[in-house]
Structure 1
């Protein structure tokens, strides 16, 4: 059964140093108990240190599958607690990575829509104390899913994750992630998803037209 295992939140706090300066981040999320309000562009009690790169309506909630976290536990030889990847929602029985862009989940009284993959930044390396983690994360093709809030409400650990709607265009979180991070020849295929965030769609269109621009 598709289930929400944990709701995880954090406020910005220093997670390490970069160029000798403390780096604030809310990636170190921890489980909270009880029903949690989801509204606006956040889960109650959560925040972002850098609201330009993180957060906003198209990155309001981040979900990561326990199955993927368990894979990482074996790969890294370490315990991976709920929230370790900075996810707000730790799920089981939900294939977050192969979710289709635009599919909608009902959790508690909240309606969420799959929006885009997580693209790692250097803070993930600080979180894991491993500068190679960004590359490993990209190559593993297990990015998890950012969700937009369609209907505000409350949710909590133990709630079912109900799939209400799935578009038939077939563009998955994994496909978008791989196109952005591993193989730009895949980029044109991702444009079949009308639910892609406008900003991301513009970047993909530009890259697809000029695939060698960053070479």
Structure 2
């Protein structure tokens, strides 16, 4: 029997200026503050937004989740504590690791219902925000990226809401497997299988299609 999943932290934040390095700055929505409750719409949580709308946000990426269990490993490797929602996630969760969560799985959280759409593709903002120049590299190496979801039913999410599995997608393709295939970028057959999952984010379908065509063109040469 699978362990129940829980919310450790519910967090939201709006884009703001982030100072990093020696006098450098950027506008990003990575910094989040813990809240007790917030309304979740198909576009994401109220009071939450992203700065880089090309690579973040949108209906297929309305909710960002990150497993709490990874924090211990990262803090040990970095030798320091990480801030709340260090990866810019809205939901820091327990018992929802990438190996156990599959593309298309549907969860009820509070009054809302979400569906997992893709593994997160981390960016350098994570290193800048956490002041750790190895974290992005390690997330890619391990596949511990967290994951994103679309909203099937809007509603209020509370910081103590239960996370209940509503439906497991029959394809059973885990987020971790998707990450391994995506970042290694060598297995066209595995990419085709992932691409065939109806619930996969459209952006991932397009990215995988380009990679499949590139790999096939190399074989044909």
TM-score by length of 1: 0.90
1:8–1:89 contact (8 Å) kept in structure 2: yes
In the alignment, which residue of structure 2 is the partner of 1:73? 75
In the alignment, which residue of structure 2 is the partner of 1:169? 171
Could you list the structure 1 runs, at least 4 aligned residues long, displaced by more than 6 angstroms after superposition: none
Q: Distance in 2 between matches of 1:206 and 1:51?
A: 21
In the alignment, which residue of structure 2 is the partner of 1:132? 134
Q: For 1:184, what is the secondary structure of its paired residue?
A: coil
Give yes or no for the alignment of 1:207 onto 2:189. no
1:60–1:148 contact (8 Å) kept in structure 2: yes
Q: Distance in 2 between matches of 1:212 and 1:73?
A: 41
Deviations 1:107-134 (A, max 9, x none): 1100000010111112112112233322
Pairwise mapping of residues 127-206 of structure 1 onto structure 2 (< 5 A)? 127-185=129-187, 186-206=190-210
Residue 51 of structure 1 and its aligned partner are, at CA, apart by: 1.2
Q: Distance in 1 between matches of 2:178 and 2:160?
A: 29
In the alignment, which residue of structure 1 is the partner of 2:102? 100
Residue 4 of structure 1 and its aligned partner are, at CA, apart by: 1.2
Q: For 1:7, what is the secondary structure of its paired residue?
A: strand
TM-score by length of 2: 0.88
Q: Structure 1 residues 70 and 8 mapped into 2: Cα distance closer, same or farther (>3 Å)? A: same
In the alignment, which residue of structure 1 is the partner of 2:6? 3
Q: Structure 1 residues 86 and 212 mapped into 2: Cα distance closer, same or farther (>3 Å)? A: farther
Structure 2 unaligned spans of 5+? none
Q: Please report the RMSD computed on the Cα atoms of aligned residues, expressed in angstroms.
A: 2.2
